[in-house]
Structure 1
Amino acid sequence: MTARPARRILRWTAGVLGGLLVVAVAGLVIWSQTGVYAAEEGAAAAVRANAEIAVSEDSGSLTLAPVDAGSGAGLVFTPGAKVEAWAYAAKLQELVAEEGMTVVITKPWLNLAFFDPRPLDAFTAGIDGVDSWLVGGHSLGGVRACQLAENADGLVLFASYCAADLSTRDLPVLSIAGSADGLSTPEKIAEARGQLPADAVLVEIPGAAHSSFGDYGPQKGDGVPDINDAAMTTEITELISDFVSP
């Protein structure tokens, strides 16, 4: 084969591969924006109306801060795949209003935590009054939180587990599961227990489904919850409060 046909084949191959890459990226972007789980309006409105909480928001995150002096503790929380940040505000609001924590709920790129390369300090920088930061997340967001845990003071998982091995880390961990979860089932979470430190605290909330950890409606493949939103919020608040101040 002469040099000219060889170059032509290489250009053709490069063009085909480039075209396939463009199609793949475009498909991913379209998929990430389709079927996003929106926050239930009533739950989000309740947080906005809470006089004990100062709400600030930009394109990268949603921050809920106590109006009065805080406790000095903060939580950076990553949503599950294709779930809006506001969908977690109501479930986390009592940590702010009653416990004085500052909560930052991230807005992952493409609504998918895996595609968000921002470090922990991208969300904590510039926030005064917080001297210890937990990282946490729901479902896929929890997997991302495990990756951010290296620079955190503790890790909180909602219906999630770590892909990275943190078993040798000196890191406080709270893992909360739901007995009715049809996606991150208690069995799956138990199977990944070895990725966590030996003293990690694992708790299963009776009647909680995957979607019980947020306010975004039912989710395909999930179980049927047998716990109401108020009870779930109380459970989450008490578990995290005890974890922060044992």
Structure 2
Amino acid sequence: MKIFIKKKWKYCLFIIPIIIVTIIAIYTKDYYRAMPEAKSMLRSNDKVEYKGSPWIEYTAKNKIITKGLIIYPGGKVSPEAYAPLASKVAESGFVVVIVPMPLNLAVLSPNKAEKVIEKHPKIKQWYIAGHSLGGVMVAQFAYKNQYKINGLILLASYPQKSNNLSSSGVKVLSMYGTKDGFIGKDKIDESKKLLPTSTKWIPINGGNHSQNGWYGFQKGDNTATITRDEQQNIIGKSIVQFMSGN
């Protein structure tokens, strides 16, 4: 009987991880892919140099670069969906890196920014941005690495209670769409006690959750009353001003 029980436990210990991995694989298989407009930006142009490995990276051409931005994608969203935003921000004199995540979930590798920072020793100031779940994870990274990060940018997101940045010296920019179907003003207002009083808040009138990237419409979101281009322009210009100290 004891031998049978031991064999049964060994079998359970073997099969449970397989079941967990299978469930995760099924859950993440149906992710949000980048739109053609985003894929067309996976290249260099006259203003930025593009690199596609080990992450998506844009570097401004013919400029002295001292500041960098790291972007964590939203949950189950292809990193390529943020290529137009990254390329546009980089044009203003920055290096911008979009970090791909395991199974498109930043929660599975929240410290990936460390490798980016290590590979760019010439960059003196680092900013980190994240959309939705990616924002939760960059807030966590900023909380744990405040000496490495100069600024935190939240796109339709907020920090967890365990990552209280209210007394932090890290600059924070928080943007959210007034038509967002996932992150409403109530959640944004609730997050204010977890962020510095100096935080810059930018409500994007008519913007929704999906238009923070180029990946189509996210199920459960509200319909935006401004175009994706309009929302992206607001986000891009706000990030550049924030990183430039304006």
Q: Same fold (TM over 0.5)?
A: yes
Q: CA deviation at 1:36?
A: 1.6
Would the aligned equivalents of 1:208 and 1:227 in 2 still touch at CA under 8 Å? yes
Q: CA deviation at 1:116?
A: 1.0
Matched, 1:57 2:52: yes
Matched, 1:23 2:19: yes
Find the aligned partners of 1:27 and 1:219 in 2 and give their Cα distance.
21
Find the aligned partners of 1:227 and 1:91 in 2 and give their Cα distance.
17
Find the aligned partners of 1:55 and 1:20 in 2 and give their Cα distance.
42
Partner of 2:33: 38
Number of residue pairs aligned between Structure 1 and Structure 2: 239
Q: CA deviation at 1:51?
A: 2.1
Query: Structure 1 residues 171, 117: closer, same or farther in 2, change over 3 A?
Result: closer
Root mean square deviation, CA, Å: 1.8
Partner of 1:202: 201
User: Which region of structure 1 is more displaced relative to structure 2, 167-176 or 185-194?
Assistant: 185-194
Q: CA deviation at 1:76?
A: 0.5
Would the aligned equivalents of 1:70 and 1:129 in 2 still touch at CA under 8 Å? no
Query: Structure 1 residues 11, 222: closer, same or farther in 2, change over 3 A?
Result: same
- Structure having the higher Rg: 1
Aligned 1:82-93 pairs, distance under 5 A: 82-93=76-87
Cα offsets for 1:107-127 (capped at 9, x unmatched)? 011110010154422012233
Partner of 1:143: 136
Query: Structure 1 residues 197, 212: closer, same or farther in 2, change over 3 A?
Result: same
Matched, 1:219 2:213: no
Find the aligned partners of 1:155 and 1:177 in 2 and give their Cα distance.
14
1:82 is aligned with what amino acid?
Answer: K
Query: Structure 1 residues 43, 135: closer, same or farther in 2, change over 3 A?
Result: same
Partner of 2:75: 81
Taking structure 1 as the reference length, the TM-score comes to: 0.90
Would the aligned equivalents of 1:179 and 1:208 in 2 still touch at CA under 8 Å? yes
Query: Structure 1 residues 46, 57: closer, same or farther in 2, change over 3 A?
Result: closer
Partner of 1:108: 101
Find the aligned partners of 2:3 and 2:189 in 1 and give their Cα distance.
55
> SS of the counterpart of 1:125?
helix
Would the aligned equivalents of 1:159 and 1:210 in 2 still touch at CA under 8 Å? yes
1:237 is aligned with what amino acid?
Answer: G
> SS of the counterpart of 2:119?
coil
Query: Structure 1 residues 123, 180: closer, same or farther in 2, change over 3 A?
Result: same
Would the aligned equivalents of 1:138 and 1:158 in 2 still touch at CA under 8 Å? yes
Unaligned runs of 5+ in 1: none
Give % identity. 30
Taking structure 2 as the reference length, the TM-score comes to: 0.90
Find the aligned partners of 1:193 and 1:238 in 2 and give their Cα distance.
23
